[in-house]
């Protein structure tokens, strides 16, 4: 097997998919924990980006951590994996754009990705989000091992038969 083939086999390997699924999903679950418990601080973080209208900051600060938690759990469990990966990918795209815009505007704020007290936002944060986005795309496009939904469907097929 030539190199491109090996690379493709490696990238599309279900185990890799499982690892990336658990990692990215775990990151989102972890990231949601503090935000869920302290929505006020997260609202301040969102407001510091100066991208969300004044009246929608609190609502976004409330819903987004739970969306991270729900999609992260679904991704880790392998339930509606593609939809969860799409949601996480969408959020990562949104985060990356927000970071990019903020960096370009030169607003000196913290990332607020996990807690409210973090290092100032930088390009590392941007590339990190892009890396996570790439992992999420792998999960979206290629099958991964140990998907709970897949096992459940297999059981349902057995029942149907």
Partner 1 sequence: MAPAETALQQAIERASRATADLDRRVFHLKTLHDTACELYGLNQPRKIMETFLLTAMGLFGVTRGLAVLMNARTREGHLAQRGLSVPEVAACERNLARIAAHFLPEDRLPLHAELVLPGEAVAPGLLPADTAIILKQKVDGSHALLSAIGPRRSGEPFGEADRTVLLNLAGTMANALAQNLFHRQIQHLSAGLTRQGNELQDSQRQAGRARATLDRQIFHLQTLYEFTAELSPLVATDKLLDAFLLTLMGIFGASRGCVLLCDRKRGTVRTADRGIPGPRELSLEEAEKILYRGFQATEERRLAPMSAGFILDPTSVFPESELGFAVHTAALFTVDDALLGLVALGPLLSQPELSAEARELLRGLTVNWMAFLKNAQAFETIQALNEDLHRINADLRRTIAELTEARHQIRILEVAKNRLKQLIQREVERAGRFRPADVVLMVALSAVLALAFNYSSPNGIPVVPEAVFQAQAPRVDVLTAHRMLSRSQAVLVDARPAELFQQKHIAEAVNIPAALFDVIFPMKLGPALKPEQVVLIYGRTLSKRYDDEVAQRLLQRHDQVMVLEGGLTAWEEKGFAVSP
* Minimum CB distance to partner 1 smaller for 7 or for 37: 37
Q: Is 82 in the site for partner 1 (CB under 8 A)?
A: yes
- DSSP string of 64-94, one letter each residue: HHHHHHHHHHHHHHTSSHHHHHHHHHHHHHH
Q: Is 70 in the site for partner 1 (CB under 8 A)?
A: yes
Stretch that binds partner 1, among 6-14, 51-59, 93-101, 129-137 (CB under 8 A): 51-59
- Which residue from 29, 33, 51, 77 is in contact with partner 1, where contact means CB under 8 A? 51
Centroid of chain to Cα 47: 21
Beta bridge partners of 43: none
For the chain, the maximum distance between any two Cα atoms, rounded to a whole number of angstroms, is: 61
Residues 6+ apart with CB under 8 A from 131: none
Q: Give contact residues for partner 1 (rule: CB under 8 A).
A: 36-40, 43-44, 46-55, 57-59, 61-67, 69-71, 74, 80, 82-87, 90, 106-109, 140, 149-150, 153, 156-157, 159-160
């Amino acid at each position: 097997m030539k190199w491109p083939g090996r690379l493709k086999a490696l990238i599309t390997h279900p185990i890799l998919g499982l690892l990336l699924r658990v990692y990215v999903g775990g990151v989102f679950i972890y990231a949601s924990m503090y935000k869920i418990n302290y929505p006020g601080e997260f609202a301040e973080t969102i407001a510091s980006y100066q991208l969300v209208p004044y009246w929608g900051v609190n609502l976004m600060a409330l819903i987004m951590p739970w969306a991270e938690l729900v999609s992260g759990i679904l991704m880790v469990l392998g339930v509606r994996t593609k939809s969860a990966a799409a949601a996480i990918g969408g959020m990562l795209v949104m985060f990356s754009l927000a970071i990019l815009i903020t960096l370009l505007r030169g607003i000196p704020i913290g990332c607020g990705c996990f807690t409210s007290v973090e290092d100032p936002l930088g390009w590392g944060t941007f590339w990190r989000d892009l890396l996570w986005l790439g992992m999420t795309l792998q999960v979206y496009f290629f099958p991964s091992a140990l998907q709970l939904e897949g096992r459940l469907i297999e059981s349902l097929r057995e029942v149907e038969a």
